[in-house]
Amino acid sequence: MRTKPLLLAALLSLGTVSAAELVERVVARVNDRLITQSEFDKRLALALKGSRPGTDAAEVKKGVLDDMIRERLLEERAKEMSVSATDEEIDAAVERVKAQYNLSTDAEFDAALAQSGMTRDDLKRQMRESITLQKVVGREVTSRMDLSDDALRLEYERQKEKFYAVPETAHVAEIMVRFSPQDADARQQAVSRIEELRGRIKAGSPFAELAKEFSQGTTRERGGDMGTVAKGELMEAFDQVVFSERAEEYPAPVLLPDSIHLFHVIERKPAGFRPFAEVKEDLRKRITDDLYDKRFTEYLDHLRRDAFVKIYDQELAKLEEKKS
């Protein structure tokens, strides 16, 4: 905050003036950095505008204050580390914003900024702050995360049951014969037809050719081929015969109220896990996201424990006490 010398002298001479009585009211102090009322109000307005209907305003206020305190802590750490954004990095970031919103001319860019109540200098200042904080987090958090192959393999063993389990599967074909549920003779004829086909298969007739000739199912044109199915995908009666404990190439037919089904289990693969090499990059992303959140939170908690944080706004101070 900048104060004219005479005004500053007057305020200092009072001695007992509180932060709440200053011309620019102070909401909170983080070590030697202040969060002013005007800054807080501007951020709060944006947060409320972007919040969902019915969101608790007190929670939004607390969230905004927490974010601003974190920013002040990171800004201070950036100063200690002599970290800053270069002009080239800022210019590149501004160009990315223009490209993202298809703003090809300077006039379009300035108009879009004006609609948001910003100028180019405002945007560049925000970009400078954002890039600087990203650099601090990169050095203090991201660079210290172990994403070596050994760490990934260890995490793979811990997480494979949850994320990479593969159920037992089977490549299946079928021959289906339909009949009217009310016609006992038709039902018996269907059963006899399936038994006849079983005999022909046993004698060496190709299942696919018999399926094309006799099946009444939707897979007839494909020789009855249903493709690969996982255990649990088929109806229970089918699942039991296809995935029976004793693997059978031609299990017993399944009789339903209006059809009878003969299956050919072409191939079965046991349950297992997707191989490490196949899921390595997905695992890396999961670890990066989860571990980053954890490490970032731990890092900020550490910074805050070592800092002097004073909240002057009574409502926000009560929210902070309730949170603690």
Q: At what angle do helices 106-115 and 120-140 cross, to 10 degrees?
A: 80
Between CA 198 and CA 67 the distance in angstroms is 72
Which of 68-72, 218-222, 225-229 is the least confident region?
A: 68-72
Q: How many CB atoms lie within 10 A of CB 153?
A: 13
Q: Which of 7-11, 42-46, 69-73, 180-184 has the highest mean pLDDT?
A: 180-184
Share of the chain above pLDDT 90, in %: 40
Sequence spans of domains, the chain: 165-273
Average confidence (pLDDT) over 183-209: 95
Measured distance CA(177)–CA(160) in Å, rounded: 42
More confident of the two residues 192 and 3: 192
- Residues 63 and 303 sit within 8 Å (Cβ to Cβ): no
Give 135 or 197, the one with higher predicted confidence: 197
User: Who contacts 70 (Cβ-Cβ below 8 Å, separation ≥6)?
Assistant: 300, 304
User: How many other β-carbons are positioned within 10 Å of the β-carbon of residue 291?
Assistant: 18
The token pair at 47 is 């947060």
Mean pLDDT, residues 291-317: 85
pLDDT at 9 over 70: no
- What's the token pair of residue 286? 């999961």
142-156: pLDDT as tens digits:
777 767 888 889 889
The yes-or-no verdict on residue 321 having pLDDT over 80 is no
- Residue 324 confidence (pLDDT): 61
CA dist list (Å): 215 to 16, 220, 223: 95, 6, 9
Which pLDDT score is estimated for 23?
59
Q: Check residues 13 and 265 and name the one with the higher pLDDT.
A: 265
Mean pLDDT check: name the lowest of 53-57, 73-77, 239-243.
53-57
According to CATH, the topology of domain 165-273 is Chitinase A; domain 3 (3.10.50)
Q: Residue 84: its pLDDT value, please?
A: 86
> Is the pLDDT higher at 135 or at 291?
135
Asked whether the beta carbons of 194 and 256 are under 8 A apart, the reply is no
pLDDT (0 to 100) of residue 17 = 42
If you average pLDDT over residues 2-22, what whole number do you get?
38
